Chain A
Amino acid sequence: MSPLEFCGGIFGISILAGALGALLGLGGGIIVVPALTLLFGLDIRFAIGASIISVIATSSGAAAAYVRDHMTNMRAAMFLELGTTVGAITGAYLAGVIGGRWLFIVFGLVMGYSAIVMLRNRHQNAQTVPPDLWADKLNLHGEYFDEAEHQLVKYKVTRTPIGLGLMWIAGIVSGLLGIGSGALKVPAMDLAMRLPMKVSSATSNFMIGVTAAASAGVYFARGDIDPFVAAPVAAGVLLGATAASKLLPKLHNQTVRIAFVLVLLWVSGEMLLKGVRLG
């Protein structure tokens, strides 16, 4: 494989990773890391560095469109970012105190369970949610124009304190394991806070860039971000995410939900396997 083929191959796979990540509110690490290590034989250290870049590229690439189209609930995102950033710092400190093995198993199970509940709740009516004082005071409720249903959808946000707590945990997990930033944020917004699925996905997409930027500085200073590998990843993911961001408003909430559940089950299986193998 010549360096040109190496770059071209990574670029192509990154377009896919960016598109999938942008539609589902994930970072694309689930595709980038295995592709770089297994297909291109890259050291895991540089694969993780490139995956952090992929998360930021997915977020910024798609968020420009989601924010303009009001798919993102920016107020909720900015409030919840308090939880994820505190979580990321907590996670960095807990690394070395808590063993990775049990975390992989516990969160593998949590993700598997969330996937099943998300599938079971798919016909729930989004209009009836318990009132929430925090969401009222901070004015977190929102609306977006649903191009698939051709109507303006107004929604109420609920259980804000629980959501903030879950975001803290999501921040800890991504700080500790380097994965699961979006895979835990989307279920927290969908199941606890009851945001519409597409809004959960776009809002998670908006938030993951900030969480990843915090750790990207560390990876960069450590020399884990190899520009030769990260350039085709960043460029491919940016293109894929920008293209996919035009598609999300046109998809039905249910389609996005089913696709997310499938990917979440896959991630949960991967994590359980990793936890068992580490032993």
Chain B
Amino acid sequence: MINSMTKNHHVKHAPSAPYVPTPHDMDRWISWLLRGGVLLSLAFLVIGTIITFIHHPSYLTTAISTHTLKNPAEGVVPNHILGIWEMMKNGHGQGFVALGLVILIATPVMRVALSVITFWLEKDRAFVLITAGVLSLLILSLVLGKAG
């Protein structure tokens, strides 16, 4: 029922008129963004894990390496984007996995950014301020976290 309402709304729009999204458009866009982020992240996680097991066939059967994998030495865990890129260039599966995790972490931030844009298109000034405030606070906490 709700979907058919949204469709009618599209039909009424003259192609030349500036497009003003409805709240239902926003629901769909955000839903797409979240689904896209999740699928992209999942793809990298799966590919990276498969590469890791192909490079280390012993991981499939022997228990020896589990302890080292559970207790990684300092510097083994990737903790910045350039490190991930290096690992991926060298064909390390864990680099692909780490990129998948970064995409997963970035997805909610992108969602807030998309809502700022949508509210701006809707000309909902109060919510442009609110969502832009949340986005700035998110960025602030990331910057503070890096510094601290």
Interface residues of A (CB under 8 A from B): 1-4, 6-7, 40-43, 46, 53, 56-57, 59-61, 63-65, 67-68, 70, 74-75, 78-79, 81-82, 85-86, 88-89, 92, 137-138, 145, 209-210, 212-218, 220-232, 234-235, 238, 242
Contacts and interface: CB of A to CB of B under 8 A. Distances in A.
Contacts of A225: 77, 79, 101
Contacts of A59: 108
B82 interface: no
B145 A221 contact: yes
Contact of B142 (A3, A63, A214): A214
A210 B134 contact: yes
Contacts of A213: 105-109, 138
Shortest 9 CB-CB contacts between residues of A and residues of B: A218-B145, A209-B108, A3-B59, A227-B97, A85-B137, A64-B34, A68-B31, A223-B79, A214-B141
A230 B97 CA distance: 9
B91 to A, nearest CB: 15
A30 B55 CA distance: 34
A168 B145 CA distance: 19
B98 A227 contact: yes
Given A220-B102, A221-B146, A226-B77, 9 more contacts: A7-B49, A53-B105, A56-B107, A61-B38, A67-B31, A86-B137, A212-B108, A213-B107, A217-B145
A78 B131 contact: yes
Contact of A228 (B28, B69, B107): B69
B75 to A, nearest CB: 8
Contacts of A89: 137, 140-141, 144
A222 B130 contact: no
A79 B31 contact: no
11 contacts: A3-B53, A4-B59, A57-B104, A60-B104, A78-B112, A78-B131, A85-B137, A214-B138, A218-B142, A218-B146, A225-B79
Interface in B56-78: 56, 59-63, 65-66, 69-72, 74-75, 77-78
Nearest to A209: B108
B79 A228 contact: no
B70 A41 contact: yes
A227 B30 contact: no
Given A74-B26, A234-B101, A217 B142 contact: yes
Contacts of A7: 49
Contacts of A209: 107-108, 111
Contacts of A212: 108
A116 B5 CA distance: 41
B42 interface: yes
A37 to B, nearest CB: 11
Nearest to B140: A89
B69 A234 contact: no
Given A226-B72, A231-B101, A68 B28 contact: yes
A60 B38 contact: yes
Given A75-B127, A85-B137, A218-B145, A230 B101 contact: yes
